[in-house]
Chains A and B, each alone.
Chain A
Amino acid sequence: MTIRIWEGKSAGAPGPCGAEPGFTRRGFLRGATGAVGGMAALAAALSPLRDLPDDAFPSLEEFLQKHYKEMTPAELADAMERVRAEVEGRYGVVPTVRDYPPIEGVRFAFALNLSRCIGCRKCVHACVEENNLSRSPEVQYIRVLEMPRGTMDLARGDHHYDRAEVPDGGHYYLPVQCHQCANPPCVKVCPVGATWQESDGIVVIDYDWCIGCRYCEAACPYWARRFNFAEPTIPDGGLNPDMGYLSNRPRRRGVVEKCHFCLHRTRRGEMPACLEVCPVGARKFGDVLDPQSEVSQILRTKRVLVLKEEVGTLPRFFYYFDERYPRDAGSPGPGEGGEAGP
């Protein structure tokens, strides 16, 4: 068998192996030139790294930081101190960073009145400000769809409606944000467990653990998750210094984020920012385990629906219409709303 091309002239004195060239000065020079040229090419290839921002590399502390659930209280305190210092260094504002654990015996739910919503998008912007979302590139947790009357087919909704005045008579408005599903596909698919559901039903993300694979984005049937493709920016004076560790502290590039029912507010008894700003009171929020809460009453008495019930995610974000059930229909639970009509 002859070796035709690979072992051509350069193979020096062809031994039976024919493997290596004889060692000559020429060969050495050629090898040295090759090595130097290679290193130069490698350095040139890596030169764009000069554009890396100074603080792009994680500090040793951040690099070694454990997963949120595995930190001792002292470690968590250290981590929050680090976040505080980083925010101060970056934005020149001293924030309060706190950890808000879920309250025992509380299960949060959101209810949105489709009869009331006028599509003004005030909730979208209140959320951006409350949760320190990037203004450029624009990141928003809430997407409002303008839907033609007579359909629930999301494909027919307009995401980018731009009217001088809302609402438009021929349409209704459907705001969508994270549904905090009881059976969350995003949590299931995360390869590193960086996102999980807490006992009050809120699905949270450890921004310091996320590796940015975006599998959760692919898994979410409600398109609720956002990825920081570029470094998020917040203008001067735009930072909300009231921060929760698992909620609205500023995120960095390369991690996923999403609505968390404003847990730094709701877990201390306040209402979410999107609800407070709503001019028509279309948004209701509360504890479904408390029968007296407004959401409980809505789920009992109104015509309630969830989006994409068929994918089995069991959302905690409900939509409802103002019309009540007839008085004699009793009080159907949230899951059986459809059958309870006259």
Chain B
Amino acid sequence: MRDYLTFLSRCVALSFVGGRVYYAWMFLLTVLALVGLNAYARQLAHGLAVTGMTDQVSWGLYIGNFIYLDGLAAAVVLLVIPAYIYRNRALRDVVIFGQLFAVAAVIMCMLFVAVDLGRPDRFLHLFARPNFPDSMLTWDVIALGGYLLLNIHLTGYLVFCQYRKREPDLRRFVIPFVLVVIVWAITIQAVAAFLLSGLGGRPFWNSAVVAPRFLASAFAAGPAFMILTLECIARGTGYRVPREGLMTLRGIMTVALALHMFLLGSELFTAFYTGSAHAGSARYLFLGLDGHTGLVPWIWTAIALNLCALGVLFTPASQNLAMLSGACVMLIVGVWIEKGMGLIVPAFVPTPLGEIVEYAPTLDEVLVTLGVWGLGLLLYTILVRVTVPVLTGRLTIDTPGRGARRAAGAPAPRRPGASQSAEEEIRP
């Protein structure tokens, strides 16, 4: 227990230490988070009227980001399948970073739902009187909460074992949880998809292909996000995941993106070939409806980005890390547009009564969104920051550290020479 507290305090201390790039990055994220908080304070003071949402388009940027991050959180963790089930060692470290991201992403998901609430002061009602099993939103609360705990356990346990230089007890504390987390990751995807596809009054969502599309797009965006993250980690710390790991990610990503595009095609065919009146939303999204074309440039940008990424991934050129990273960026942005705004907003246009009201997020809404992302990435950066030295063996239980007292700013000897004795005191 004491070891653990020392470990935690060392982690906290560590997260305040870094080089210039690290400080600049953290400063930027902190500023984003504060600006977002500022916008959210305005939203609290004046109500959701400061957003672009209306009775006609009652969900927007917040829920779009929630859906996107939900997928990302699931996909990065599903990499445990090759890592543990197929014993692909190259992916094990990738998985830890994936799970760390899942922790941050789930917290972002929860924040996005929270900022979307009209009465955030009543969020405890979710637990006081949950409408279970009827409401998919209740399912989602359970799914996300459980997922968060599972990932905190898995990463925390593995990293702490590494820190204590002990072999993790895979059979008791890892593999059973890995099996659960696999099912759980698919569940949070399915639940988020069912949240939308279960609504009979919204033909755009009420389609069986929504859930498979969720999985496919998440499996494309998740590995893409991981590749970029690992690249940043490699540049920042010199800690490199074996190339083989990256190439496995590339393979998963390519297949998933191809599948995703196929599913999109199926959906388009069904919507447009029949020419049914139900295609209003799809028409609005892809072609514009009655002169309202707000989302048309966005969705075609997304499709173009995804197709470009797919093209690059299909060629051997993507074995080059720079090309691969480029494809990843295109893919992440493409899927974000498609799955965020492209999936949420058109379902509300036209309304069930046929009225067309367009939606565009307001500045405050964008700032709140950026703030949540900033906070999430800040958390993720800290998690990665403390994990890397542990994984590389630079921070272990035996490392002479100047743990808790120093970090808390407790008085300590000022002469550099005296510091050794202080360490001895703290070290267990």
Contact = CB atoms under 8 A, between A and B. Distances in A.
B34 A45 contact: yes
A251 B236 CA distance: 53
Interface string A5-18: 11111111101111
Contacts of A157: 353-354
Contacts of B54: 229
A6 B236 contact: yes
Contacts of A44: 34, 38
Contacts of A12: 416
A167 interface: no
Contact of A191 (B23, B47, B141, B350): B141
Contacts of A25: 414
A192 B130 contact: yes
B5 interface: no
Contacts of A49: 41, 44-45
A283 B135 CA distance: 34
A37 B238 CA distance: 32
B167 interface: no
Contacts of B172: none
A211 B122 contact: yes
**DSSP class of A's interface residues: helix, strand, loop or mixed?**
loop
B176 interface: no
Contacts of A170: none
A6 B18 contact: yes
Interface stretch (B146-154, B198-206, B247-255): B198-206
B137 A213 contact: yes
A13 B416 contact: yes
Contacts of B120: 211
B110 to A, nearest CB: 13
Contacts of B49: 137, 229-230
Contacts of B56: 223
B48 A254 contact: yes
Interface in B386-428: 389, 392, 394-395, 399-402, 406-407, 409, 412-414, 416, 419
B30 to A, nearest CB: 8
Interface in A196-223: 209-215, 217-223
Contact of A6 (B137, B385, B395, B413): B385
Contacts of B414: 23-25
B275 interface: no
B405 to A, nearest CB: 10
A16 B395 CA distance: 8
Interface string A212-246: 11110111111101111111000000000000000
A42 to B, nearest CB: 7
Interface string A153-175: 11111010000000000000000
B183 to A, nearest CB: 23
A229 B38 CA distance: 19
A58 interface: yes
Contacts of A213: 113, 116-118, 137
A225 B53 CA distance: 14
A15 to B, nearest CB: 6
A227 B125 contact: no
Nearest to B54: A229
Contact of B135 (A57, A137, A215, A229): A215
Interface in A52-74: 52, 56-58, 63, 67, 70
Contact of B17 (A4, A20, A214): A20
A95 B182 CA distance: 56
A6 B118 contact: no
A282 interface: no
A280 interface: no
B163 to A, nearest CB: 11
Contacts of A311: 200-201
Interface residues of A, number: 92
A38 B29 CA distance: 13
B277 A153 contact: yes
Contacts of B58: 214, 217-218, 227
A178 B178 CA distance: 47
Contact of A19 (B17, B34, B136, B235): B17
Interface in B192-229: 198-202
A17 B237 CA distance: 13
Interface stretch (A86-94, A103-111, A182-190): A182-190
B355 A5 contact: no
Given A185-B199, A215-B135, A218-B58, A5 B123 contact: no
Nearest to A312: B200
Interface string A129-173: 000000001000001010000000111110100000000000000
A157 B38 CA distance: 42
A212 B131 contact: no
A48 interface: yes
A48 B37 CA distance: 10
A312 B206 CA distance: 13
B130 A191 contact: yes
Contacts of B121: 57-58, 63
Interface string B30-70: 10001101100110111111010111101100000000000
B177 to A, nearest CB: 27
Contacts of B30: 38, 41
A140 B236 CA distance: 56
Given A7-B17, A194-B125, A254-B119, 17 more contacts: A1-B238, A1-B394, A3-B237, A8-B20, A47-B38, A47-B41, A185-B200, A189-B134, A189-B137, A191-B126, A191-B130, A214-B118, A219-B199, A223-B352, A228-B47, A231-B47, A254-B47
Interface of A: 1-13, 15-25, 28, 31, 38, 41-42, 44-52, 56-58, 63, 67, 70, 137, 143, 145, 153-157, 159, 176, 185, 187-194, 209-215, 217-223, 225-231, 253-256, 308, 311-313
23 contacts: A4-B236, A5-B20, A19-B395, A20-B14, A23-B414, A48-B42, A49-B41, A49-B44, A51-B45, A51-B46, A145-B353, A153-B277, A155-B277, A159-B354, A185-B200, A189-B198, A192-B131, A211-B122, A212-B118, A213-B118, A226-B55, A229-B118, A253-B47
Q: What 3 A-B pairs come out closest when comparing CB atoms?
A: A212-B118, A221-B201, A254-B118
